[in-house]
A and B are shown apart, each in its own frame.
Chain A
Amino acid sequence: MELNKLTKIELLKLATEKAIPNRTKLLKGELIKALEPYFSGKTVTASTDKISPSKASKAKKTITTAPSSNVGYESKKPVTIFQIKKDEYPIPEYYNMDTLVILPVDPSKEYVYWELSDKTIYKVRQQYKLGNAPLVLKLYKQASDFSTDEISSVEVSRFGNWFFDIYAPSSVLWAELGFIDENGVFYSVLKSNSIRMPADKVSDIIDDETWMTIGHNIDKLYGLSGLHKTDLGASQTMHKTILRQLTTVNTVSSSSFMKDK
């Protein structure tokens, strides 16, 4: 049935048959939308006669009809359905404290979030006479035991978060937050925790003692362990594959716990 060819009165009649809630208040387009699940593609079998693959309805959209009674449940009280209420549980955006945290994401991505309290900002600006000097977030890398490299720098506001895309496998990184004065001098206010980034290849470090016993076969062994496979370390990708295999239909009910790693 082509719903958009019907008049509003005809649609309303159908909506009454299907007990669409608030049907009298709906505009024509809204009525069509509400009725679509009943008439999408093929005609839905009107009675409870048998279905066969060819007749089975493909109506997989949400149908919003309210039940006429408390069907199937023992409880006499009306069934209350959980609905997520916006702002039922408000949470603060930030905590008005001093914090700077860095977390590794993968060998080429780092996440940083921070916050500077009013008090600290006031104090530091006063102390170093910084006026309106901008706040800057810097990323550092431990270059050797004695030296550090600044590897990235970005102007930021007093609270926020940032993803750096710095490729730094196996490196030790940390962030600092501070002001830069007009001469380019950096006044560090907060220093984050340090992280060691994950590696993305086989280690150069060879334990000689154990190395001897297996000799040249190590390459073959690592190959047999899956090294150099593009989807190594991607159980999730594999689990997605199975989902694709299980069906060609992409509709997913939220009642299913999608563990598609």
Chain B
Amino acid sequence: MNIFTFHSGNTALHRLDVRYKTALVCMVSLALLKAGFAGCFVCFLVLSWLVYATGISFIHLAVQLKWFILLLGIMFITRSLTVPGTPIFSFFEVVITHEGIVQGTLVAMRFFLVMITGLLFSATTRPADLKSAAQWYLKPIPFVPEKRVAIMISLFLRFLPLILTQAQQVSDAVNARCGNLNKNPVRRIRYLVLPLLKKIFLAADSLCLAMDARCYSEDRTDPVFETGKNDMRFLGAGICLCLVMVCPFHIFIKMTFWS
């Protein structure tokens, strides 16, 4: 279990209709691509409040995202060193530019906020609801078997952790017989991948039998969505947030104080 897995709860985000939630995540992620510093800051405040309201610990969040934050740090440094502009520090051939720092900070902030948006989505959405939303969104598209795709998404989400566990078990079994001393990468992959694939195929075979035994069919009971006024309010608030994020901040300030 990590912070990206579903955390049961009864917050407004948990209760939000998954179709609206999916649309909001897409909108906010797209708006973040266009957002400046001010827009990112507004988004950061809103997302921080939502993380707090959802009950996710900020410390836990930082610990779980430590490698991602490191990646953002590397992106920031790369941008600082590669974007041409006004130099603010130079050491032999290495030049850090003002424009590089600004761009690096902005890109890192955007990626970080997209990650937090996704995290809030996954932590407050049951995988079954995610499957239902995928089915609903795919339904109007011709030639796409939406129910089959939905069950595939559901099975993928369900079995990915199982596959990772099995990979760890195979790796442990290999290492228990000093397989870690073997430095040949081809042999290592062979001893890890072949047994793992065998286990996965056997598990898939058992799963097919178990699903058959429970009368699995693509013609299943359709999911029922319950949309309330709160969903509309959330959607409205989300659209406003996106507009604030993409609107140049000086225009936003002028509009606010001029009126």
A and B assemble together: no
Residues of B within 8 A of A (CB): none
Residues of A within 8 A of B (CB): none
